[in-house]
Amino acid sequence: AVNAVQLSSEGVGQRILRRSVAVSTNIDTILPDLQAALREQARTGNADPVRVPDFPIPVDIARDDALSLEGTALRERILNESATRLYKHGMSAWADADDKGKQDIELVSTAGLLERGLGLLTAKNHDGMVIAAAVLGFLSVAFAVLLLASVRSWARLIALSAVTIAAALPSLGAAVAVRFGFRTAQEEADPFVSGLLDLGVEAMWLPIRNYLALTVLGFAVMLLTLVFIWASSRQGTGPVDSPAA
């Protein structure tokens, strides 16, 4: 749940969406044509702001900016505005540039997988994930309290660290395997699919980092607890499993 909250947060979510737009539209190739068409529309039309023509996501730019922005600056503006719209409205924004357009994406396809995965990165979904994470966090704390109350002395910390390791280590292995799978698939993919897979490679760093931190924390707590048990037994401070006060 924490991973989902972080991935769907405004900063991370919009960064991923921004890259997805760059890959899906091949913006580096079409940018010169977009720039020329945008300036022509700004010169000949009266609209303010001016909508970027022939772009699959509706992007409106102030008339003065439409006449002056070029190259990298225009690219950044288009991608940032696109990511903001997608984060707010979801993947339906891809069809908004054409009032008569309809999305016709096969479910079992790269585009279909992209739509379903990136479609989760919205402000609305983020709010729902925050609530779910809060509920799961409360339940986890309650479980930890019950666990600590059910065992004796140092065994409490050993049990808690063991549960943490048991939950985090398999998840870490799964996250690493998924990232490796994405990376391996890139080797034989065409540039478009490779770009989409690179989004997955980047996104998997977040759960890998989280699960690695939990795994290290679990082992650290267990190791320190065992050291304290050993030190207590050497000093003759009493039986290790004596009841807590």
Q: What are phi and psi of 50, to 5 degrees?
A: -105, 135
SS3 44: helix
C-alpha–C-alpha distance, residues 25 and 58, integer Å: 13
pTM value is 0.74
Give the burial class of 57: count Cβ atoms within 10 A of its Cβ; 0-12 exposed, 13-18 middle, 19 or more buried.
Answer: buried
C-alpha–C-alpha distance, residues 178 and 184, integer Å: 10
Q: Hey, where are the domains in the chain?
A: 2-113, 151-235
Between β-strands 50-51 and 60-61, what pairing exists: parallel, antiparallel or unpaired? antiparallel
Tens of pLDDT along the chain (245 residues) come to 678 888 888 888 899 999 989 988 889 999 999 999 999 998 988 888 899 988 989 999 999 999 999 899 999 999 999 999 999 988 777 766 554 444 444 555 555 566 677 788 888 888 888 888 888 878 777 877 776 666 666 777 788 888 889 989 999 999 999 889 888 887 877 777 788 788 888 888 889 999 999 999 989 988 988 888 887 777 765 444 444 44
> What pLDDT is recorded for position 227?
85
> What pLDDT is recorded for position 79?
95
